């Protein structure tokens, strides 16, 4: 009788406990596992600071940690150079959006274009063979075989759910992806690592920043100074460039003598002005969305009432579709939401199923 050949899984390894535990889980399930690590740091002298992050000089230590994890697990490790791709699709996008008065989400761009895109593509082109790609994301995946549809779901551990960052993945990408941690809780993953001799990875601090900077402004051009005005047009002070501000921001406005705290309400790129006002004016109930990626085909979404997340740290909020098409949508929230920010991603959910998501237009 002919033995079935083991399926090979490439795991995106960061040197942290999640990706290391994911690789070990898959190995225990009988897969042949290999580790892949992205090389994105390009020696940018502007990136300095004490924060840990994905992009920065600390990358060398992370690669060594990933290599060490693979050695302990007894699996091969490869570092894939993606500096050019990262600069083009993440860093340049990040700069362009801020200069246009919008607030980007570089982690979504990185996941979509780099981690689940060029990393897989370049690894395969270099001769590294694998059947599936896996990561340590806290998200779940199931399949509707009747409709040949892969369904992305929120992770079981709601405090760690990362499905928001994955909403732009296509069916062609989801078809070959595995999320071993989706049905687990973070504490259980750390315990699993400790029980399997991976104590140092379980105790390693988490890196949750995009870049190793004390301020993202280090990556951005200074910009031209201009006025901060209130919602009636009265000049309140000066700003040092619109790239330093985002909707809902309260800090660093440096405007005093007001009856209550003021927040950024709008960024007017045409006038190079920051419009500020009381918090009550920063709430909106209607949002327009563009560049939508539907994981569930739009024609199959019958329910009007859904839940939406307007930023990663936001709670899910009930909303109804006023209109929707393959690329655009308009939603109305049941309760007005604070600082709905152009450029940020909004993701739609039906219970724990990710319907899709897009970019907030206004």
Question: Known catalytic residues?
Answer: 110, 213
**SS3 assignment for 137-181:** CCEEEEEECCCCEEEEEECCCCCCCCHHHHCCCCHHHHCCEECCC
Is residue 45 within 8 A of residue 218, CB to CB? The reply is no
Number of CB atoms found within 10 A of residue 122's CB: 18
Residues 187, 181: Cα–Cα separation, whole Å: 11
**Burial of 66: CB neighbours in 10 Å, binned 0-12, 13-18, 19+:** buried
Residues 207, 199: Cα–Cα separation, whole Å: 17
On the CB side of 217, CA atoms within 13 Å amount to: 12
- Taking alpha carbons only, the member of 80, 169, 148 closest to residue 347 is 169
Number of CB atoms found within 10 A of residue 312's CB: 15
Residues 147, 207: Cα–Cα separation, whole Å: 38
- Per-residue tokens: 224: 């031209």
Going 272 to 276 to 282 to 286, the CA torsion angle's sign is negative
Going 25 to 26 to 30 to 33, the CA torsion angle's sign is negative
């Amino acid at each position: 009788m002919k033995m079935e050949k083991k399926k090979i899984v490439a795991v995106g390894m960061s040197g942290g406990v999640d990706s290391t535990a994911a690789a070990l889980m898959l190995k225990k399930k009988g897969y042949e596992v290999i580790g892949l690590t992205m090389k994105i740091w390009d020696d940018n002298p502007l990136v300095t600071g004490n924060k840990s992050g994905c992009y920065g000089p600390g990358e060398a230590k992370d690669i060594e940690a990933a290599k060490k994890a693979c050695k302990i697990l007894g699996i091969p490790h490869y570092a894939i150079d993606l500096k050019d791709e990262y600069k083009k699709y993440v860093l340049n996008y990040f700069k362009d959006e801020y200069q246009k008065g919008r607030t980007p989400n570089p982690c979504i761009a990185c996941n979509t274009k780099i981690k689940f895109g060029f990393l897989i593509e370049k690894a395969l082109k270099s001769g590294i063979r694998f059947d599936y790609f896996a990561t340590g994301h806290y998200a779940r995946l199931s399949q509707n075989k009747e409709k040949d549809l892969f369904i992305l779901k929120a992770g079981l551990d709601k405090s760690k759910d990362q499905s928001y960052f994955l909403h732009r993945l296509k069916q062609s990408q989801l078809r070959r992806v595995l999320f071993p941690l989706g049905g687990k809780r973070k504490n259980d993953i750390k315990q699993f690592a400790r029980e399997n001799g991976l104590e140092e990875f379980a105790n390693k601090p988490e890196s949750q920043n995009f870049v190793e900077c004390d301020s993202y402004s280090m990556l951005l051009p200074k910009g031209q100074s201009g006025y901060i005005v209130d919602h009636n047009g009265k000049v309140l002070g000066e700003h040092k460039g619109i790239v330093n501000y985002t909707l809902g921001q309260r800090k660093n406005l440096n405007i005093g003598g007001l009856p209550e705290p003021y927040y950024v309400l709008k960024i007017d790129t045409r006038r190079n002005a920051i419009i500020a006002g009381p918090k009550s004016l920063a709430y909106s109930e209607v949002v327009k969305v563009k560049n939508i990626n539907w994981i569930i085909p739009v024609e199959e979404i019958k329910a009007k009432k859904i839940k939406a997340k307007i930023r990663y740290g936001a709670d899910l909020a009930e909303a109804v579709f006023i209109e929707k098409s393959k690329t655009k949508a308009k939603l109305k929230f049941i309760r007005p939401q604070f600082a709905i920010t152009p450029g940020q991603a909004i993701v739609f959910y039906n219970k724990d199923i990710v319907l899709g998501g897009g970019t907030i237009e206004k």
